[in-house]
Structure 1
Amino acid sequence: MKYVEVIVGAGSAETVRAAAERVKALDVRLGPVGPDGLQAIRLLVTDNQVQRLLDLLQGLLGAQPSARILVLAVEASLPPPDEEARKKEDSATAAREALYEGMDKNSRLGPNYLILVMLSTVVAAIGLIEDNVAVVIGAMVIAPLLGPNLALSLGTALGDVPLMRRSVRTVLVGILLAVALTAILGWLWPTELSSREVLSRTEAGLDSVLLALASGAAAALSVTTGLSSVLVGVMVAVALLPPAATVGLMLGQGEPGLALGAALLLAINVVSVNLASKIVFFFKGIRPRKWLEKEKAKRAMVAYVLVWILTLAVLTLVVLERQYRLLPI
């Protein structure tokens, strides 16, 4: 459940109450009118009512510059909701605005992001070189690659071009930084890199496509349902960071053929994660509020999905040709 607190002019109290009745809010409380003429109204709603209520309130109160809407989480409720209400809560989708706020932060390129990419890359590279699975998994815990990839899919779902641009830039910088850093490590490493962890990421297969698709879908589902995305983020990072690190290590070792194989795996994983997360956002109903924005988002979604599907199809054909040695690379 959520508390939606609306701060509006006292004359709009009945408008807010009518919106609460339309969505069948569980409770409505009107606070006193302040000396500035504003009144706080608090509405208790279930998670599956939040988005509809926010859309109604934004449409009704959009012309009021002093109006403000706050969404507050309810940690516990006594007595607990009945079983039917609990099922609705479990299947509810997080509010569009809440998703956007989190994804907007994750799409921004900042010093913390760069530091985490560098640290996780160094740890992952050491784990790959030493053939230590535990160290590789540990690197995934701190890798910040989930956020910008999901932000890219959300930006497409909402038709938000600035969000898409920021996300693409953040993803590209993170991957290029990981490749450059590991290329230096590979060049400095005194012995040949032949560990199983490294070599396993120099070849892509159909299982790689399925892994990345599952990772992207799980990540999008976790954020839209409000569940913890920490472990899912680890899964997504496993699909992205080790291949990027392997590309750099192989380039540093002077092995362009193996680096190309790792780059193919990385490309497949990036495309699959973004395609799967976009499809989940679509089926969860993550769309803009206004009609014009919906039309723009629809066009962006069609172009986005087609590009990713075609790219994935081409990459899959390359994988199959490499596996059956029909295409010498």
Structure 2
Amino acid sequence: MALQLVEVTADHGHVDTLVALGEHKGAIDVYADERSDMDRCLVRIVISTKRVQELLDGIQAAIGAQADWRAVVLPIQASVPSPGPSVKAVSDDEPRKFSFASITVSREAIWNEINKGARLDLNFIILSVLSTITAAIGLLTDNVAVVIGAMVIAPLLGPNLAFAFGTALGDRGLMVRAFGTNVLGIAISLALSYAIGALWTGPLDSPELVSRTVVGYESIALALAAGAAAVLSLTTGLSSTLVGVMVAVALLPPAATLGIMLGAGNYFAAGSAALLLAVNIVCVNLVAQLVFVVKGIGPRTWAQKQASRPARYINAISWFVLLMGLITGIWYAQQSGGVAPNQGFEAPSTDNLTGN
């Protein structure tokens, strides 16, 4: 059974409340260190990872109005002796219950992790520039390994997941930061790849490049599945699976393809790349928001839930309407004879680029 250590520092008068909360939530061990000379207490609670969220919510409900307290959640790599039979999460006499809605990472831990993806700083800008250059080189030279490298960097996945998480919590500040970071990241990718496409004098027939101008219904299914996997990896603590998600639903290669085709003057192919980019963004945001809600991740208090409910509905409906529009766009593109996977595009000649 995975365990975590919750350390709470608060006024001395809250020690009995904190100890009772730990015992009520099924803690493995509760230890209270009372400092009579400092009028403070330190309560250490060893508890199952699956029950950390319940404990944190209980602490906030009990002493959240007090400003002078703090709870810190720490991972436990090993615990000796092992928890006895009396504290097993599932006893031998009870049937095992599997619930998709259960989470193994607390709301606060997810927020702390996902907030990094919404942070707009120099590191994000540098990563966006480097990953765009990497993706463009890989696409133009048909180097699969280089394209995958750009996918793994994945600076655009974080802001989209942060936006969906902010929607689930009703955190407008996080949503605004994530939206701004996402827009700037896409703008950097488009501007840089546009310049590369305008300067490129070779043919645009690389299979890696042309494949990003082909979009079908399978693209929607892939983006939905990968978006759901991304959220599940966050809520279950399996962050290592995010690497696979980054490759499966990479946003940067379609964005780089869009800029390259615009720079080369091939607007039809650019439209197809834009459609693929839009499919990935819409599907990731829609399914991520739905999975967060199904997993029970939302505001803590009833008042916060009521206040954020209209925004969640509006966002979900908006993403769904956009998805329906994209499905219509895919159908129209197929009916009008979209770009085939083996069809290449010729770049403008050097004479055209120099104006001669």
Q: Is the 8 A contact 1:30 1:39 kept in 2?
A: yes
1:28 aligned residue: 30
Q: Structure 1 residues 232 and 152, CA, compared in 2 at 3 Å: closer, same or farther? A: farther
Residues 203-236 of structure 1: per-residue CA shift (max 9 Å, x gap): 2100110111111101100011111244145235
Among 74, 97, 107, the residue aligned to 2:108: 97
State the Cα distance separating 1:21 from its structure 2 match.
2.3
2:247 aligned residue: 235
Q: Structure 1 residues 17 and 74, CA, compared in 2 at 3 Å: closer, same or farther? A: same
1:137 aligned residue: 148
1:45 aligned residue: 47
Q: Is the 8 A contact 1:222 1:232 kept in 2?
A: no
Q: In terms of Rg, which structure is larger? A: 2
State the Cα distance separating 1:322 from its structure 2 match.
1.2
| Larger helix fraction of residues | 1
Q: Structure 1 residues 185 and 115, CA, compared in 2 at 3 Å: closer, same or farther? A: same
Q: How does 1:57-72 map to 2 (within 5 A)?
A: 57-72=59-74
Indicate the SS of the match to 2:31: strand
Indicate the SS of the match to 1:127: helix
Residues 67-107 of structure 1: per-residue CA shift (max 9 Å, x gap): 11111111122345589638899963310111111222221
State the Cα distance separating 1:66 from its structure 2 match.
1.4
State the Cα distance separating 1:200 from its structure 2 match.
1.1
Q: Is the 8 A contact 2:28 2:83 kept in 1?
A: no
Q: Percent identity?
A: 46
Q: Tell me whether 34-43 or 203-212 shows the greater mean CA deviation.
A: 34-43
TM-score (norm 2): 0.87
Aligned mates of 2:291, 2:82 — CA distance in 1: 30
Residues 9-62 of structure 1: per-residue CA shift (max 9 Å, x gap): 111111111211221111100113153211100011111111111111011112
TM-score (norm 1): 0.94
Residue 85 (str. 1) matches residue 94 (str. 2) = no
Gaps of 5+ in 2: 91-95, 339-356
Letter aligned with residue 85 of structure 1: A
Aligned CA-pair RMSD: 2.2
Residue 124 (str. 1) matches residue 128 (str. 2) = no
Aligned mates of 1:131, 1:61 — CA distance in 2: 59
Aligned length: 327
Q: Is the 8 A contact 2:5 2:75 kept in 1?
A: yes
Among 287, 299, 309, the residue aligned to 1:288: 299
Residues 267-290 of structure 1: per-residue CA shift (max 9 Å, x gap): 011000111111111111101111
Aligned mates of 1:112, 1:89 — CA distance in 2: 40
Q: Is the 8 A contact 2:229 2:245 kept in 1?
A: no
Q: Is the 8 A contact 1:157 1:286 kept in 2?
A: yes
Q: Structure 1 residues 131 and 318, CA, compared in 2 at 3 Å: closer, same or farther? A: same
Q: Is the 8 A contact 2:23 2:30 kept in 1?
A: no
Among 197, 213, 218, the residue aligned to 2:224: 213
Letter aligned with residue 51 of structure 2: Q
Q: Is the 8 A contact 2:104 2:235 kept in 1?
A: yes
Letter aligned with residue 243 of structure 2: L
Q: Is the 8 A contact 2:213 2:272 kept in 1?
A: yes
Among 172, 191, 201, the residue aligned to 2:212: 201
Q: Structure 1 residues 131 and 34, CA, compared in 2 at 3 Å: closer, same or farther? A: farther
Q: Is the 8 A contact 2:160 2:178 kept in 1?
A: yes
Aligned mates of 2:84, 2:188 — CA distance in 1: 50
Q: Is the 8 A contact 2:168 2:297 kept in 1?
A: yes
Q: Is the 8 A contact 2:4 2:52 kept in 1?
A: yes
Aligned mates of 1:89, 1:57 — CA distance in 2: 27
Letter aligned with residue 199 of structure 1: V
Aligned mates of 1:326, 1:131 — CA distance in 2: 24
Indicate the SS of the match to 1:94: coil
Q: Is the 8 A contact 1:156 1:164 kept in 2?
A: yes
1:9 aligned residue: 11
Q: Structure 1 residues 188 and 81, CA, compared in 2 at 3 Å: closer, same or farther? A: farther
Q: Is the 8 A contact 2:4 2:73 kept in 1?
A: yes
Q: Is the 8 A contact 1:47 1:89 kept in 2?
A: no
Q: How does 1:206-285 map to 2 (within 5 A)?
A: 206-229=217-240, 230-235=242-247, 238-285=249-296
